């Protein structure tokens, strides 16, 4: 299953992107679904803050893995930061690094923009559903 949607560069798009991913992954285990929602919120927020462009969220789902990507046309190269405790921002990629099974950044061939992606391959199916059928 593949799904994709474009979002405009405005604060309400962060919540819309989160709902889009949650709807696309509605049958995924609750913990994995929450992790995906947090991570796409972080990436969408980064697009607003740093890329200042519209962005596209993609969800690619197989039986074994979910890949969520966020593409933008903005400049810059995402990098993990280590902000001081009193700084309220700058932890998005650290959160993704902690929650995702893998993640990365692919730069567009035309050198305009990039795709930041993450995968989840564990915890995909809802344990309650498989227990209920047993």
Percent of the chain with pLDDT over 90: 58
Residue 123 has pLDDT above 50, yes or no: yes
* Mean pLDDT, rounded, for 45-68: 92
Looking at residue 124, its pLDDT comes to: 62
* Mean pLDDT, rounded, for 11-33: 94
Decide: 74 and 52 in contact? Cβ < 8 Å. yes
Percent of the chain with pLDDT over 70: 84
Q: Give the chain's domains with CATH numbers.
A: 2-133 (3.30.565.10)
Looking at residue 129, its pLDDT comes to: 40
Per-residue pLDDT of 60-105, as tens digits, reads 998 889 999 999 998 888 777 776 777 766 667 888 999 999 999 9
Among the listed residues 39, 70, 42, 41, the one whose alpha carbon sits nearest the alpha carbon of residue 54: 70
User: Exposure string (b/e) for 53-92, b if CB count within 10 Å is 16 or more?
Assistant: bbbbbbbbbeeeebbbbbbbbbeeebeeeeeeeeeeeebb
Decide: 55 and 72 in contact? Cβ < 8 Å. yes
Looking at residue 120, its pLDDT comes to: 94
């Amino acid at each position: 299953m593949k799904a994709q949607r474009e979002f405009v560069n405005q604060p309400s798009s962060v919540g819309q992107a989160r709902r889009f991913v949650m709807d696309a992954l509605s049958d995924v285990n609750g913990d994995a679904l929450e992790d995906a929602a947090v991570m796409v919120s972080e990436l969408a927020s980064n697009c607003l803050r740093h890329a200042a462009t519209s962005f596209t969220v993609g969800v690619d789902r197989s039986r074994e893995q979910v890949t969520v990507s966020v593409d933008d046309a903005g400049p810059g190269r995402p990098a993990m930061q280590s902000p001081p405790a009193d700084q309220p921002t700058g932890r998005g990629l650290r959160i993704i690094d902690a929650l995702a099974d893998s993640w990365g950044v692919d730069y567009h061939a035309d050198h305009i923009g990039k795709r930041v992606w993450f995968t989840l391959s564990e915890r995909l199916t809802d344990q309650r559903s498989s227990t209920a059928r047993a």
